[in-house]
Amino acid sequence: MKRNISCFVIALCFILAASQPVYAHTVLPVNPDAQPTTKAIMNWLAHLPNRSDNKVLSGAFGGYSGDTFSMAEADRIKNAAGQLPAVYGCDYAKGWLEPANIADTIDYSCNSDLISHWKSGGIPQISMHLANPAFQSGHFKTQISNAQYENILNSTTPEGQRLDAMLKKIADGLQQLKDEGVPVLFRPLHEMNGEWFWWGLTEYNQKDSQRISLYKRLYTKIYHYMTDTRGLDNLIWVYAPDANRDYKTDFYPGDSYVDIVGLDAYFTDAYSIPGYDELTSLNKPFAFTEVGPQETNGSLDYALFINAIREKFSKTIYFLAWNDGWSPAANKGAANLYNDSWMLNKGEIWNGDSLTPVVE
């Protein structure tokens, strides 16, 4: 069985690499050693805005691995809109749990579904609500001082060793996807400009230059561990600040560490989502990496969201809608969103032998 899977992966790499259209310019991942499939997907994503239609990947969040994750959200979208989302999100970290071993907050059992999702024409996005290494476990929303942050960055401290234990287990999960030839939209340390996660700011819209520097060191530590130490060549690195806070680009770790920039945006008026111009000024492909209504009362019209993308945010290459009460299936306009002529749904990324062509 393992030999058959390996043959599938090798064949797919050659097929995708050989079947790509010729572009005026090629956009490569920041990892120069990225596998051929990852390079092909990255270049394909970067050129989506050149299309006239079929230019935005649809997406949905499937839940927390080992807890709420399933393909049920994809099925809800299918029932509401007649389409399956192209991008499907899983979160590897249940940072609110308090087991004796902090690494036990990490779970990648969602991988089997993500592998199937890729093989049937989708692509996964993986994020982590990491437990707080300043504590034995849990506390993902407990604020820490900059001195505690420094300890987390130091692998000789108990805090640093707890971080390293989580990173090792995350990398083990990503390795499993690599072995299956699955490219991953990898979104670490999201919403850093907010004050609700331990890795971010500690006060509402209060700039802390030392904190920003510590965040960049943490992000680049994760990048070098995953890329250099573990050799994970299937990752497309996504930088995702919160739309409703300032300092969206201050935390940006640099062009050498980011493939896609995005916004996590919860809104009442899609046309008023702030930050698009700031993020696109970084000259990286842009996505709405997490979206939903501010109020979970079922009143948001997602048809207005795709209209706003058309009229104001036309460089968008994908969106990922949150699940539960934030889901398009729990609100209005799901069919309009997923069936818009700009949309690419599952099965429209590649069909088993080639990526869908992009007109340059």
Can you tell me the mean pLDDT for 180-191?
97
CA geometry: angle at 41 spanning 36 and 42, to 5°? Answer: 95
Domains within the chain, CATH numbers bracketed = 2-344 (3.20.20.80)
Cα–Cα distance, 235 to 226 (Å, whole number)? 9
Per-residue pLDDT band for 267 (boundaries 50, 70, 90) equals very high
Beta bridge partners of 308: none
Cα–Cα distance, 265 to 267 (Å, whole number)? 6
Query: What pLDDT, in 10s, does the model give residues 34-83?
Result: 999 999 999 999 999 999 999 999 999 999 999 999 999 999 999 999 99
Cα–Cα distance, 126 to 123 (Å, whole number)? 10
Cα–Cα distance, 40 to 271 (Å, whole number)? 32
- Extract the tokens encoding 219: 């992000």
Per-residue pLDDT band for 354 (boundaries 50, 70, 90) equals confident
Per-residue pLDDT band for 15 (boundaries 50, 70, 90) equals very low
pLDDT of 7 above 60: no
Q: Where are the alpha helices (DSSP H) in the chain?
A: 2-18, 36-46, 72-81, 111-119, 146-153, 158-179, 209-224, 276-280, 302-311, 334-338
- Nearest partner of 123 among 317, 335, 334, 332, judged by Cα: 317
- Residues serving a catalytic function are 191, 290
pLDDT at 353: 63
CA geometry: angle at 208 spanning 202 and 210, to 5°? Answer: 110
Beta pairing class for 184-187 and 286-293: unpaired
